Amino acid sequence: MKNISIFVFLLASFVNAQDQYNSASTQLNKLLSTESGLSIGGYGEVTYNNLEGSSTPAEIDVQRLVMLFAYKFDDRTSFVTEIEFEHVKEVYVEQAFVNYSVADGVNLRGGLMLVPMGIVNEYHEPTTFNGVERPSLDSKIVPSTWREMGLGVSGRVNSASLRYQAYLMNGFLSYGESYKLRGSDGLRKGRQKGAESVASDANFAGRVEYYGLPKLKLGLSYYTGNTQTTIPEQSYTQVGLSMFGFDYRYVNGRFSSRGQLIAASLSDTEAYNLAGTTDLGSAMGGYYIEGAYNLLPLDRSQKLDLFLRYENFNTHQKTAGDLIANDAYHRNETTFGLSYHIANGAVFKMDYQSKATAVDGSAAVGQLNMGLGVFF
């Protein structure tokens, strides 16, 4: 409750400051609205990270290059896919789904899709968020980029200013030759990414966005179900998961702000940890709040955003049985820096992060980041 109270206070403090960024789904819809045929887009980013006090040197990396292809068969039917190259040498399919328009505001979708949880998991192109790296909450709690195989509906109800998504999907893999989930990074190692995915249980993912208030978007996300296992007859290889998210994005002239709250509850973790000698928490969650100010006049085509973000998240918010919560998994980060949008779709970024844990006597560690991103 203390974390929630802090989040609500910060939200009230910053509610006059949020930029409304373009989202990945907006760009996909632009591609889908073309005449019949092929449309091409993409995004990519090169990053530099220098962790203070580390025994390893700084790293510079082509973190990802993603090519987006959309093909419109007719006025109702389209196919969308994203092919991602990570660190130059790894190749993934990030999305691959068919979209069928049933009626105005109602679409059927099936295939490999992004799970609609929070902001960054869907809207993660480098020009759509401040900071060289994505918020850590969207790495450790919502394991971006989180995508699953599924089928469902999406669309909008303009009369109510609502956008909605609802899918049945497969979920995280908790066991497949080994136990996948652990305390340090929560559910991240369980992402299946559509690669020969185990589908022992169906999960539900849903999201509603409200855009009826001036300059403000509000989002509610929910995910629930059981993890997947290659031996479903052994119940201790699975855990139950329910995840709730609230987020906002606001813009007012040169001021911008966004924030997100995530809470996840896991069941049967005691038996899972005993069987796998692991340390998965029974509850995890956190929040972040961000404010930004564009230093350039609004009549300029370029933007120079000075921003500050605070995050607080814990993958051992609760533990079951004899497992003692690890204070090193309760983390907070402060990030401040600049995002220089030199053109619509191209950005230079630089920021400094201070990272700390709840371990008694531990000192915060600094990290300098720089990056270049494009989105077209």
Per-residue pLDDT in tens (0 to 9) along the chain, 376 residues:
444 444 333 333 333 333 333 334 544 565 556 666 888 889 999 999 999 988 889 999 999 999 999 899 988 999 999 999 999 999 999 999 999 999 999 999 999 999 999 999 999 999 999 999 999 999 999 999 999 999 999 999 999 999 999 999 999 999 999 999 999 999 999 999 999 999 999 999 999 999 999 999 999 999 999 999 999 999 999 999 999 999 999 999 999 999 999 999 999 999 999 999 999 999 999 999 999 999 999 999 999 999 999 999 999 999 999 999 999 999 999 999 999 999 999 999 999 999 999 999 999 999 999 999 999 8
The count of structural domains within the chain is: 1
Q: What is the pLDDT of residue 37?
A: 82
Strand runs (DSSP E) across the chain, as ranges? Answer: 37-51, 59-72, 77-86, 90-103, 106-114, 147-157, 162-169, 173-175, 203-213, 216-226, 228-229, 240-252, 255-267, 283-294, 303-318, 330-343, 346-357, 365-375
**Structure tokens given for 289:** 């709040």
Backbone φ and ψ for 128, nearest 5 degrees, come out as -100, 0
Name the strand (E) or helix (H) holding 301: none
- What's the token pair of residue 58? 């700084």
pTM, two decimal places? 0.90
Q: Could you tell me which residues come within 8 angstroms of residue 141 by beta carbon, excluding any fewer than 6 positions away?
A: 186, 187, 262, 264, 284, 285, 286, 313, 315
The residue among 77, 81, 80 whose CA lies nearest residue 107 is: 77
Determine the residue type at 327: D
Q: Which amino acid is at 101?
A: S
Q: What is the pLDDT of residue 7?
A: 38
Diameter of the chain measured on Cα atoms: 63
**Who's near 294: CB < 8 A, 6+ residues apart?**
19, 254, 255, 256, 303, 304, 305
- pLDDT for 137 equals 97
- Residue 270: CATH number of its domain: 2.40.160.10
Give the domain range for residue 11.
Answer: 2-375
- Residue 269, CA distances (Å) to 225, 285, 316 in order: 14, 16, 12
Q: How does DSSP assign 91-129, residue by residue?
A: EEEEEEEEEEEEETTEEEEEEEEE---TTTTTS-SGGGS
Residue 73 identity (one-letter amino acid): F
